[in-house]
Structure 1
Amino acid sequence: MPKFLIQATYTPEGTKGLLKEGASGRRAAVDQVVTGLGGQVEAMYFAFGEDDIVLIVDFPDPVSMAAVSLAVKAGGALRTRATPLLTLAEIDEATRRQVAFRAPGR
């Protein structure tokens, strides 16, 4: 399954929700959303600094990740970014593919 790194920052409204529900309540909500689309939460951590939450999730396909991202962003309580994660084997495969590319101006 494709794996994604999700980094999120709470809006003031989202922070109020976290204070009300606690971390366990938010984890349960995340698990429900991810498993509802056939995915799995590998790890979820709260942090401080630029990001408030960092997750690693598996989804059956990138469209499922996009669906979750759109729903979460539409809710207005979080600003998120998702980064596809690739295995070493996937990068090895990518290095073996021929790509015809011409840099601008060359």
Structure 2
Amino acid sequence: MAKFLIQATYTPEGTKGLLKEGASGRGAAVDQVVSDLGGRVEALYFAFGEDDIVIIVDLPDPVSMAAISLTVKASGALHTRATPLLTLDEIDEAARRPVSFRAPGT
């Protein structure tokens, strides 16, 4: 499974929908979208400030996250960004992989 942090901001139209439907309704909608793709919602919080909602999801693969992102953005109700989250073991594995790199100018 691939884990992602999703941060989103409602557009004015999306906010009207949230006010009409309530947070529980939106939470159920998020659960449905994620579970339909074989994933699960680990955490969902509403916030105020730069982001209106923060979600952590486990999905089968990055393509599933891309599918969700494209569909949600096409709705025009939210501006979203998704950040892949890596475990300590994944970073340890990455640190052990040899990478041939030369910095500019060296």
Q: Which runs of 5+ in 2 are unaligned?
A: none
Match of 2:28, SS state, is helix
The corresponding residue for 2:12 is 12
Q: CA deviation at 1:16?
A: 0.3
Q: Which runs of 5+ in 1 are unaligned?
A: none
Q: What is the identity, as a one-letter code, of the residue corresponding to 1:97?
A: R
Provide the rounded CA distance (Å) in 1 between the counterparts of 2:39 and 2:71. Answer: 15
RMSD between aligned residues = 0.5
Q: CA deviation at 1:104?
A: 1.5
The one-character-per-residue Cα deviations of 1:18-69 (angstroms, maximum 9, x if unpaired) are 0000000000110111000001000000000000000000000000000000
The one-character-per-residue Cα deviations of 1:47-97 (angstroms, maximum 9, x if unpaired) are 000000000000000000000000000000000000000000000111111
Provide the rounded CA distance (Å) in 2 between the counterparts of 1:104 and 1:36. Answer: 45
Structure 1 stretches of 4+ moved >6 Å: none
The corresponding residue for 2:78 is 78
Aligned residues: 106
TM-score scaled to structure 1, two decimals? Answer: 0.98
Is residue 49 from structure 1 mapped to residue 52 from structure 2 by the alignment?
Answer: no
Identity %: 84
Provide the rounded CA distance (Å) in 2 between the counterparts of 1:57 and 1:80. Answer: 14
